[in-house]
Every structure is written in structure tokens, then in C-alpha cells.
Structure 1
Amino acid sequence: MSNYQVNNTNINALISWIEQDIVAIPEIQRPFVWKSSKVRDLLDSLYNDYPVGYIITWQNPDTRLKDGTVSHGKKILIDGQQRVTAIMAAISGKEVVGNFRLIECVDSH
């Protein structure tokens, strides 16, 4: 019996998991570091239906998360958090600050 599963999940399902608070970022992950050009390139790849790599999640009931809480069985992002955070920021029109929190972008004009 394998210790892991490989599933093909579309971007809509991934976004749904995030909106339902099923996916979480563990405290061990580095801060969000992508520049806007990298986010643009990711969205371009998605738009053109190019592969954008694997997203690896792990289910563990007591993993400490970036926000200081415990996972309680959520899908923990082991690999792909830069891509997932970039996608959610782009879709929501929000800026990433602090511990991967999305805040409203404020127009300075």
C-alpha cells in the first residue's frame, strides 16, 4: 500500500478548498516572496493551460500553522504555497502581507 496519492485537481477545486478553509500554511513555510512579474507569469501559464507544477498537501491533525493555530486535519501545504498564495491574491485583488494574510489593495490616487 502506498503512503501517498497523486490526484489531478483543477484550479477551481483548489480555490474552493482555500475558500472553504480546508487548506492551510504550516509555520515552517517561508514568507511570500514572489514579485508581481512572477505572479503574472504563473497566471499566463494557467491561462495557456501549461503545467505549473505539483501542489503537495499533507493531512495531520496537529500541525502548527502560520497564524498560530493548529491544523485539525486540514490539507497542509508542503509545496506550492507561493503559487497558491499568488493565485488567491490575484483572484481576490488583494495584497499579501504578514503571515500570508490577504488585505484589500488601496488605490493611492
Structure 2
Amino acid sequence: MAKYSVNNHSVENIISWINSGEIAIPEMQRPFVWEASKVRDLMDSLYKGYPVGYIIIWKNPDVKLKDGTFSNGKKIVIDGQQRITALTAAITGQEVVNQEYKKIPIKISFNPFDEKFEVCNPALEKDSKYINDISEVFKPDFNCFNFAIQYGNQNDSNPSDINNTLVKLKGILGNSIGVIELNQELDIETVTDIFIRINSKGTVLSQADFAMSKISS
């Protein structure tokens, strides 16, 4: 029996999983711990077409989730929670739960003239060269052409060039991320072993954290 399959999914598709509740976070997964600068770097990598690693998911109806319910066949994130959360925060504007279990926004700013990403701060909010929050660009009603004209008038820039850059930014939604899906027939012990091996060189989660999910299953 093959233990996993590997496929590419668009950023837009992965975000749709989040919005529809099709993807779930198991009970042992931790809050969002990335620094905002790592979210910025992730968006910059996607913008430049760089690979950003794999997400590992597993379908199982009996894993307890963080809200106390069970997965019931949802896609359970085994590895890649931080990247998925970062994507959702930056692109949709959804707040994240930090280590103090408080909901906070993470705003990533973008300079379409220099094609540069930054973590939003009060100084950038006053700088007409920056889009304060790139999630605005990804809203369905955002008009790249109209914005480019306004931006060009304010910053002495060519609206056509700005429009092309904004279209490239929105194109992040079509970029692919590798998704490894573990076979749903695998038992919790095997998935636990896979998780531990993946994280054996890091400090993402301890073995005890994942072992707690076995109690909940």
C-alpha cells in the first residue's frame, strides 16, 4: 500500500479549503508562532516564484480537533500549519491566534514600484508608495487598473507598469504548493512515526505533543 501521494495545488485552492472548513488543525497543533517577517518572506518567495516547501495532510474521521470536534474526513494538517496560517492571514486578512491565544492581524505591505514587501508599520501607512495591506489587492472588487492610475498620479509612476506589477501580485493565487496526502488507511501510530521523523531535527512540536493526539483518537 502506498503511504502517500504528492500533488500540486494552487494557493487559491488551499485558501479555499481553509475558508470552507475542508482543512482542519488537529488538537496537538500549536498557535501561530511565526514572526511577521517570516510571513513577509513567504509572500516574497511566492511572488518571485520560489518553492516554499510542502504541506502534509491526512484524512481520518477519528482525530480530535482543536475545537473539540472530530475530523470527520476533513483534511488534517500534519505539517505546514504555520505556512497555511501565514498565507491565509496575508492574503485574506484573517486574524491569527498568537502564543498568548489572542487574535491579532498580520498586515504585509507592498511597494509596487520597487516590488518590495514589508511588515506594515505606522511609517509605511503614511507612505503613498506602499499598499498598506496586500489583502486589499486580493479582494474580488479590487481594480488593478484604477488603482494603478491613482498610484501613478501620486507617485510619478507609469500606471501601465504599476498595473502589470499588481497583476503579478494577484498571480500569487495561481502559484502551486506541493501537498503530500497520507493514505487515509494509515493508523495513528504510523502517522505519529511519520510526524516525528519529519520534525526530528526541529522544534516544531515535541513527540509528547503528537502522542496526545493518539489519546484523543
Q: TM-score range, shorter-chain basis? A: 0.7 to 0.9
Identity of aligned residues (%): 62
TM-score, L = length of structure 1: 0.85
Higher helix share: 2
Q: In the alignment, which residue of structure 2 is the partner of 1:10?
A: 10
The higher radius of gyration belongs to 2
1:77 alignment partner in structure 2: 77
Gaps of 5+ in 1: none
Q: Tell me how far 1:95 sits from its aligned partner.
A: 2.5
Q: Is the 8 A contact 1:27 1:66 kept in 2?
A: yes
Q: In 2, are the aligned partners of 1:89 and 1:102 still within 8 Å (CA)?
A: no
Calculate the TM-score normalised by the size of structure 2: 0.45
1:19-57 deviation digits (Å, cap 9, x = unpaired): 111000001112210011000001111111111000000
After TM superposition, give the deviation of residue 79 of structure 1 in Å.
Answer: 0.5
The AA in structure 2 aligned to 1:29 is Q
The residue aligned with 1:20 is 20
Task: Please give the alpha-carbon distance, in whole angstroms, between the structure 2 residues aligned to 1:37 and 1:102.
Answer: 19
The change in CA–CA distance for 1:67 and 1:27 in structure 2 (over 3 A counts) is same
Report how far residue 69 of structure 1 moved: 1.2
Show the counterpart of 1:42.
42
The answer to whether the 8 Å contact 1:93/1:104 transfers is no
Partner Cα separation in structure 1 for residue 73 and residue 31 of structure 2: 23
Give the ranges of 4+ consecutive aligned residues of structure 1 lying more than 3 Å apart after TM superposition.
Answer: 101-105
Match of 2:63 in 1: 63
Tell me how many residue pairs correspond in the alignment: 105
The CA distance in 1 between the partners of 2:91 and 2:67, in whole Å, is 22
